[in-house]
Structure 1
Amino acid sequence: MVSPEDSGYTGLMLKTASVGGKGVLYIAPIQEELNTQPLPPDSTSFSSMPKAMCHSCHTSYPLQILPLHVETCKISDTSPQEISDEDPDYRHPKPDMEDFETVCPICGQNFPPNELEAHASQCGESKADFIPSTSKHKMSISSAVVLHAILRLLPLLSQLHEGLKLYGLADLMSQYSNICQPLFVPGVEVKADADFVFAVCHPEFSEKGSNQEQVEVSVMNHLQDFLQELEACEHPEVGDYPGHLSPSTFLQWLTGQGHIPVLPEEKINFRVCVQFNHTCNIQYGVHTVCYPTVAACSNTIRLPVKHMQTYTEFKQVVIEAFHLGQAFHQV
């Protein structure tokens, strides 16, 4: 018998008594009987576990117990329905991949998928198999490179599939792919609009109440008006390309990405540091105009406020800097 301590039983105490979990401990209640009924799906014990909704009863269950629930859950209250081939939700069993062969895009021979990776890494190395790099064979060579890169992931995906099968999740994912997809794919890329771009811009203002701060606030107002104008003048049929200035391409110029971060944590921490240069005359001497400097690695832009006193000056300087500063150099 394991006697409790003053504070009751603890995990360390039970682990020591069971010799590190190798022994068996029996619980003998004194006044009550242990409840052996399964926990309800809304129990707090499942709060931190991944869940998915059952299509039949529309109840959210943890993934570990959802396969057991699906076997006993009825589709309707009257009688279970048999799934036929005509049912749109019916999915035919997938054939074994070992029964198929894939064509090598270089030599044209058929190989099983598990052997194609090793063949693709050596195909074309010998003189007899050598293919000259001409425009006729560019597509075949490109396909071989892409195929080789994809096949390198097959062992990793195979191990992942075996791990999912241990808990019965592989069959569950195959049957309810639309429910399980959000658990593995966080979302789709959404282009950044003017409001998002301006919201992630965090200016480093000068001392509060100073003349420099007033100028910097005016420049930030110019930036907000500029982004709103870009969004209003954007034509959806034109789309985004390196020479097309829009809120998303402007953000891509600053950070290297033109979409809103997909993961919630990345979206919260995503920001652009806006700095202000008041001493360009000291740095560059007498000059007519200088442009913003962008560091996409650190998500930083430094604005020369002397040349951005009015909105017209701000717009002209930023547009010229955007079109002339697509490469990794200083304009």
Structure 2
Amino acid sequence: MLCDTFPKLVSICGGWLLHKTSGGGGQRKLLVIPPDSDGYNGNQLKSVSGNGKSTLYIVPLQKKLDTTPLPSDAKELENMPKAQCSVCSEMFPLQCLPMHIKECKDDHVILFTSTDEELERSPEADNSNSFLTEKTAECPVCKNTFDSDIIEIHASDCGLRSGDILNSISGKVDETNTFSICVSRTDIFIRGMQQWQRQKKSSPKSRLKVTFFGEAGIDTGALRKEFLTEMLAEIERRLFICGADKRGKNPLYCVNSVDRNYFRSAGEIMAVSLAQGGPPPAFMREWCFRYLCSGDYDSIQVSTSDVTDLEFSLLIEKINNSTDDLSDLTDEILNCGYTGEVSLEKKNHIIRAIVLHSTLRVIPMLDQLRKGLQLYDLLRVMERHPDLCLPLFVPGEHDDKVDAAFILENCHPSLSERGSVRYNKEMNVMNFFQDFLQEMEDSGVL
């Protein structure tokens, strides 16, 4: 399979091994992955890569791997989707097209410049040159500069982790303005929601500034974090309901909360908390998170364990424990939307109808929550990287092991100006610290 996917491996003689690294940047050593007695297998690669979260590297043992790009007409690219270059009218694979566009534009810019002395510039030529002007943009994850034509493709493949997700949306906070909230600690949920919705002078995209009634003090970050922590705790308590297994919560079915736009404000507060140093809203059930990412209920799998409403949970328990007939439960079953025969033979169909009724009726709450999560383009990030965002919304052990990458991911050093001598020394210190942590992890200390 590897040779079919990477045809250049076919010509490699002398063998090769897979290597891995646990994340991070700077000076890092690749660690060899020893094959099992029967070679590499799917279970082994799934385990060492953290279910595909870590990048694996193919390292030939005796020969160098050819890394020259394939031509656009290579056999390996025949089945890839193609598009036409609007400048030279040639067909290129979509993955190769961004780099070709850059080179093609550069060639035409040189051509236009050389003919300016001979030809009189026309309005069409001016428009063409303005279109061909090279533009660059900075990747919000790795902070490297790329051509504007390929920045989106690079960003989608850049080595993201949960911490990188937070850094990427944090960079979209409007630091020039403030979103001021003045609340009382008494009934902070109602007062906070009212102040949040009444604020008209600025957008929640701005830096949040919090003041508590009757308390003196300037918000330098601590008050903001305290407010977000208490608000998320109240949102979890008032707008979500937990099941018996304690594996996350479903939205509470409450039409009044939807009518008051509480769920939309809750989504905005969740996004602000993630972007501005607050705690993550890690209290939802996984099916709720999957729906927030896709917005498509048909693709979501739900089961009886996802029913958190006590009334429906007791009804399902009564049906499971029933041995005679279900005549006493007919009214309750019909109220859940089930229209078939009420009998023990249809027990599975009845329970499935109750599960769907319990989850489908909270879809309007989740839809309103999705609107709030559009802040900082967080919803788009969730759609592109659902597995990376999962630990931010769903409780449980999701790659929370404290290792070298985890420590570095949570380090936020205050560095000097980029390019200065002090900045270079500080980066060297961080690189040495990274190597030290990696050595501790390799030795088993971490």
Regarding TM over 0.5, the answer is: no
User: Please, what TM-score do these two structures have when normalized by structure 2?
Assistant: 0.21
- Which has the higher relative contact order, 1 or 2, with Cα contacts under 8 A spaced 6 or more apart? 2
Q: Which has the larger radius of gyration?
A: 1
Q: TM-score scaled to structure 1, two decimals?
A: 0.27
The structure richer in helix per residue is 2
